[in-house]
C-alpha cells in the first residue's frame, strides 16, 4: 500500500505543487521548486501568517539580506555550534546524520542531545548499519558538521560570508535601528518571512527537510520586569500539550487542556510562550492543519538551547510521524547581549523611570598619573578594571589597597592613588537589554502538512476520485470557469464571467479542454473549491444562470450570474 506521502508527492509533481529542482541535470538533494499551484499556496499561507503575526499583532515586518558577514555568526554562536553529527559509511561513502541513525534504530528518542562519544558507543553497541547500503557503522568516527553554507563577499577570500541559517539574525543585528522605529518603546515585535539555508547532511521526506527553505519568524522584544501578554485573549484556546514530564514518564501521554489552565497549573512556564501558542493554534486550524493531528510538544531539557528557558514545538502528524512545524522559545537577553558584546553597538532600550532617581555612581579618575609609569601601555586597562570594580564592589575600596587582575597577574594598588570617588547623580532612566520571545515557523513543512491533511480519496458516480480539501483561504485557485462545449456563445459568456470574478479579486482558472468530468477531476486534484460551468441554459434562459459545483460534496446548484461574483467573494472571505 502506498503511503499518503508517496501519493501526495506524485500528485504534487503532476499538478504543479512542487518537484525536485534542476531535474534536467539529474536534480540535487534538498532543493525543490514550487510549481504554479505550490507557489500560490505557499504565497497564500505566507499572507495568512503576515495578516495574523505582523498586521493583527501590530508588529513591523522587515526584509533583510540572506548573506551576512562572518562576525554576525561568530556573535550568534552559529559558526562554532550550528552542527549536526555526521557519520560516513565505510562501504558506500554516503553521509548520514548519526543522531537520526540512532533514533531510527534504537529506543533513543533524542540522540541529538547526546555527546558524540556516546553516539559512537550506541552505534557500536547496537551494531547499527548504513541506511543506504546496510554496511556496519560500528567503529566509524562521528564528527560535528557545520550546517552553514559559506561564501566569499567580493573577490578573493578576505571577507567570508554565510547564507543565513535562520531569518532571525537579520532582525537581531538591526536591533539598534529597529528600536528607533519602535520609538524606544517596549514591547515591540519584528517579523520576517524569507529564505534560510542549511547544508543538511541527509535531506529527506521531500520538502520537509530541504537545504533551502522559507521561514516566517517573529522576534518579540519585551521588558522582562514589566511587560505581560494579553493572556485573557487566548485563555480559552483548547490545546493538546505533550509536556516534557509526560515524555519522561513511563505511561506518559498528551494532555488536553486550555492555554489558561496550562499557565495556571505551570505546565507552560513562560506566559509569553503560552500567549503565542494560543495565537498559533487557531491560525494553524484556519490554514488547514487537521487539529486531530496537531499538538504542542515541550522540548526535553537536553534538547533546549542553554539560553532558552522554555521551548515548545508545534507538531503535525504525517504518516504516523510527528514533525516539527514551528518552535516557540523564550530566549532571554542572549541574542541582543551577544551582538552588543561582539559589535560594540547599543542593543539596549532606554527605559524612562516614572520619576527621576538620585543614584550614587562610583568612578575612578583616569588621569591618575600614578597609573601611567607603573603600568606603561596598560594604563587604560587598569582604569577599566578599576571602574568595573568600583561599580560592582565598592567594599574593595574600603581598605588601604585594592586588588586588580591584569593579564593573569594580581596587583595591589594603594587606594588613594586610584582616584576613587562616589558622586550623586540624577538619572531619568536606564538602558535595559530586552528579552526575546521567538515564534519560528517553517513554511515549507507547513505547506506539506496542509496538503497531506487535505488529501482525500472517495468515489463519485462509481469512479475513484482524489481531491484536496484545502481551505478556501489558502487554495491556489478559488474557482474554475468552464464553457460546457467549444461554442463561441458559451465561450464569450464564460470569458465575461472570468473577468467579473477576477475583478472581484478571486483567483480563477479557465479550462475548455476535455470533457466536463475530466475538468472537474483536474480541479478536484488541485483543491479548487468551486467550478462554474456555462451551458446552454445559461445563454438560452431569460435569467442568466450558471452551474456552480462544490468540490467536497460535488453538489451542483444553479446561481444567477448577477450574484455570482459577490456570493463567491463572500465565501472566500469566510
The smaller minimum CB distance to ligand ATP, of residues 203 and 243, is found at 203
The distance of closest approach from Cβ of residue 168 to ligand ATP in the complex, given in angstroms and rounded to an integer, is: 9
Which x/- pattern over 157-186 shows residues binding ligand ATP (rule: CB under 6 A)? ---------x--------------------
Among 99, 120, 200, 524, contact with ligand ATP (rule: CB under 6 A)? 200
Q: Residue 130 or 325: which CB sits closer to ligand ATP? A: 325
CB of 166 to ligand ATP, least distance (A): 6
Which cell goes with 206?
A: 521531500
Helix H or strand E segment including 530:
strand 530-534
Residue 208 near residue 323, CB atoms below 8 Å:
yes
- Single out the residue of 40, 215, 523, 533 in contact with ligand ATP (rule: CB under 6 A): 215
Judge contact between 279 and 52, C-beta under 8 A. yes
Is residue 233 within 8 Å of 247, Cβ to Cβ? Answer: no
- Contact between residue 149 and residue 162 where contact means Cβ atoms under 8 Å apart: yes
Question: Which C-beta is closer to ligand ATP: that of 15 or that of 100?
Answer: 100
Beta-carbon count within 10 A of 462 CB: 5
Q: Rounded to whole angstroms, how far apart are CA atoms 241 and 282?
A: 15
92-96 long-range CB contacts below 8 Å, 24 or more apart? 92/130, 92/132, 92/133, 92/135, 94/130, 94/132, 94/133, 95/145, 95/201, 95/202, 96/130, 96/131, 96/132, 96/201, 96/202
By C-beta, is 213 or 334 nearer to ligand ATP?
Answer: 213
Residue of 287, 163, 217, 206 lying closest to 33 (CA atoms): 206
The least CB distance from residue 313 to ligand ATP, in Å, is: 7
| Comparison of 186 and 325: residue with beta carbon closer to ligand ATP | 325
CB of residue 213 vs ligand ATP: minimum separation in angstroms?
4
**CA 323/CA 445 separation, integer angstroms:** 8
Over the window 372 to 401, marking each residue x when it contacts ligand ATP by CB under 6 A and - when it does not, the resulting string is ------------------------------
Applying the rule CB under 6 A, the residues between 2 and 31 that interact with ligand ATP are none
Long-range contacts of 403-407 (CB under 8 A, 24+ apart): 406/375, 406/378, 406/381, 406/382, 407/378
- Looking at beta carbons only, is 166 or 385 nearer to ligand ATP? 166
Shortest gap between Cβ of 209 and ligand ATP (angstroms)? 4
Question: Cβ of residue 124: shortest distance to ligand ATP, in angstroms?
Answer: 25
Distance CA 267, CA 261 (A): 8
Residue of 487, 483, 456, 482 lying closest to 470 (CA atoms): 456
Distance CA 44, CA 474 (A): 5
The CB-of-440 to ligand ATP minimum distance in angstroms stands at 4
- Dist CA 17 CA 37 (whole Å): 5
Q: How far apart are CA 472 and CA 506, in angstroms?
A: 11
CA distance 220 to 435: 8
Whichever of 179 and 209 has its CB closer to ligand ATP, that residue is 209
* Residue range at the interface with ligand ATP (CB under 6 A); choices 75-83, 210-218, 248-256, 450-458: 210-218
Out of 5, 76, 440, 545, point to the residue binding ligand ATP (CB under 6 A): 440
Minimum CB distance to ligand ATP, residue 125 (Å)? 24
Among 15, 198, 295, 297, binds ligand ATP (CB under 6 A): 198
Q: Please state the closest distance from residue 389 (CB atom) to ligand ATP, in A.
A: 40
Query: Which x/- pattern over 118-157 shows residues binding ligand ATP (rule: CB under 6 A)?
Result: ----------------------------------------
Report the C-alpha gap between 23 and 44 in whole angstroms: 26
Length of the chain: 574
Residue choice 167, 210, 477, 545 for contact with ligand ATP (CB under 6 A):
210
Q: Residue 210 is placed in which grid cell?
A: 530541504
Site string for ligand ATP, 543-572 (x = CB under 6 A): ------------------------------
Residue number with CB closer to ligand ATP (247 or 258): 247
Candidate ranges 32-40, 48-56, 209-217, 528-536; the one touching ligand ATP (CB under 6 A): 209-217
Options 32, 34, 53, 213; binder of ligand ATP; rule CB under 6 A: 213
Contact 54, 60 (CB under 8 A): yes
Size of site (CB under 6 A) for ligand ATP: 15
Per-residue burial over 172-198, b if 16 or more Cβ lie within 10 Å, else e, is: bbbbeebbeebeeebbbbbbbbbebbb
Residue 179 or 211 having the CB closest to ligand ATP: 211
d(CA 415, CA 160) in angstroms, rounded, equals: 47
Residue nearest to ligand ATP (CB): 442
Q: Cα dihedral angle (256, 261, 262, 266), rounded to 10 degrees?
A: -140
Report the residue number, 165 or 434, with the smaller CB distance to ligand ATP.
Answer: 165
Of 29 and 282, which CB lies nearer to ligand ATP in the complex structure? Answer: 29
- Residue 40 or 440: which CB sits closer to ligand ATP? 440
Q: Tell me the sheet residues that pair with 558.
A: 547
> Taking CB under 6 A as the rule, which mask of x and - marks residues 32-51 in contact with ligand ATP?
--------------------
Site string for ligand ATP, 441-470 (x = CB under 6 A): -x-xx-------------------------
Distances (CA, A) of 175 to 183, 307, 336, 352, 429: 12, 19, 8, 19, 20
> Smaller CB distance to ligand ATP: residue 330 or 478?
330
For residues 91-120, which are near ligand ATP according to CB under 6 A? none
Q: In the complex, what is the shortest distance from the CB of residue 221 to ligand ATP, in angstroms, rounded to a whole number? A: 19
Residues 282-341 that bind ligand ATP (CB under 6 A): 324-327
Site of interaction with ligand ATP (CB under 6 A): 166, 198, 200, 209-210, 213, 215, 324-327, 440, 442, 444-445
Amino acid at each position: 500500500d502506498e503511503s499518503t506521502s508517496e501519493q501526495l508527492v506524485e500528485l504534487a509533481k503532476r499538478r504543479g505543487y512542487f518537484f525536485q529542482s534542476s531535474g534536467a541535470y539529474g536534480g540535487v538533494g534538498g532543493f525543490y521548486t514550487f510549481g504554479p499551484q505550490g507557489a500560490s499556496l505557499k504565497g497564500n499561507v505566507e499572507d495568512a501568517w503576515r495578516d495574523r503575526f505582523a498586521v493583527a499583532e501590530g508588529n513591523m515586518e522587515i526584509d533583510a539580506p540572506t548573506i551576512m558577514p562572518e562576525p554576525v555568526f561568530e556573535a550568534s554562536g552559529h559558526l562554532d555550534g550550528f552542527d549536526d553529527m555526521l557519520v560516513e559509511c565505510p562501504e558506500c561513502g554516503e553521509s548520514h546524520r548519526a543522531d537520526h541513525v540512532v533514533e531510527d534504530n534504537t529506543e533513543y528518542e533524542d540522540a541529538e542531545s547526546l555527546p558524540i562519544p556516546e553516539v559512537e558507543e550506541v552505534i557500536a553497541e547496537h551494531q547499527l548499519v548504513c541506511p543506504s547500503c546496510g554496511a556496519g557503522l560500528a567503529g566509524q568516527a562521528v564528527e560535528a558538521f557545520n550546517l552553514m553554507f559559506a561564501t566569499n563577499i567580493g573577490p578573493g577570500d578576505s571577507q567570508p560570508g554565510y547564507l543565513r541559517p535562520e531569518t532571525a539574525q537579520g532582525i537581531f543585528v538591526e536591533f539598534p535601528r529597529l528600536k528607533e522605529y519602535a520609538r524606544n518603546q517596549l514591547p515591540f515585535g519584528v517579523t520576517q518571512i524569507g529564505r534560510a539555508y542549511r547544508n543538511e547532511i541527509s535531506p529527506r521526506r521531500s520538502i520537509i527537510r530541504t537545504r533551502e527553505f522559507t521561514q516566517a519568524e517573529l522576534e518579540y522584544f519585551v521588558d522582562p520586569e514589566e511587560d505581560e501578554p494579553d493572556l485573557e485573549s487566548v485563555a480559552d484556546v483548547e490545546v493538546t500539550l505533550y509536556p516534557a514530564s509526560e515524555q519522561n514518564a513511563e505511561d506518559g501521554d498528551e494532555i488536553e487542556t486550555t492555554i489558561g489552565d496550562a499557565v495556571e497549573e505551570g505546565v507552560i512556564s513562560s506566559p509569553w510562550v503560552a500567549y503565542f501558542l494560543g495565537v498559533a493554534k487557531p491560525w494553524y486550524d484556519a490554514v488547514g492543519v487537521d487539529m486531530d493531528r496537531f499538538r504542542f510538544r515541550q522540548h526535553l531539557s537536553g534538547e533546549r538551547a542553554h539560553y532558552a528557558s522554555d521551548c515548545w514545538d508545534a507538531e503535525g502528524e504525517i504518516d504516523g510521524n510527528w514533525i516539527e512545524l514551528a518552535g516557540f522559545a523564550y530566549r532571554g537577553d542572549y541574542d541582543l547581549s551577544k551582538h552588543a558584546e561582539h559589535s560594540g553597538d547599543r542593543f539596549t532600550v532606554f527605559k524612562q523611570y516614572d520619576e527621576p532617581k538620585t543614584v550614587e555612581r562610583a568612578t575612578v579618575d583616569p588621569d591618575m598619573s600614578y597609573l601611567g609609569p607603573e603600568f606603561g601601555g596598560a594604563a587604560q586597562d587598569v582604569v577599566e578594571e578599576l571602574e568595573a570594580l568600583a561599580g560592582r564592589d565598592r567594599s574593595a575600596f574600603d581598605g588601604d589597597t585594592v586588588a586588580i587582575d591584569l593579564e593573569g597577574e594580581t596587583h595591589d594598588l594603594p587606594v588613594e592613588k586610584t582616584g576613587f570617588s562616589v558622586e550623586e547623580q540624577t538619572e531619568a532612566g536606564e538602558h535595559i537589554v530586552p528579552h526575546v520571545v521567538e515564534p519560528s515557523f517553517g513554511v515549507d513543512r507547513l505547506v506539506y502538512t496542509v496538503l497531506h491533511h487535505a488529501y482525500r480519496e472517495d468515489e463519485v458516480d462509481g469512479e475513484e476520485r482524489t481531491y484536496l480539501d484545502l481551505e478556501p483561504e489558502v487554495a491556489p485557485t478559488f474557482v474554475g470557469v468552464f464553457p460546457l462545449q467549444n461554442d463561441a456563445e458559451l465561450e464569450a459568456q464564460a470569458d465575461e464571467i472570468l473577468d467579473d470574478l477576477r475583478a472581484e479579486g478571486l483567483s480563477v482558472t479557465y479550462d475548455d479542454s476535455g470533457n466536463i468530468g475530466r475538468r472537474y477531476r483536474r480541479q478536484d486534484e488541485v483543491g479548487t473549491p468551486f467550478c462554474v460551468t456555462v451551458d446552454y441554459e445559461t445563454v438560452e434562459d431569460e435569467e442568466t444562470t450558471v452551474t456552480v459545483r462544490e468540490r467536497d460534496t460535488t453538489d451542483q446548484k444553479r446561481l444567477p450570474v448577477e450574484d455570482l461574483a459577490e456570493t463567491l467573494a463572500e465565501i472566500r472571505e469566510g
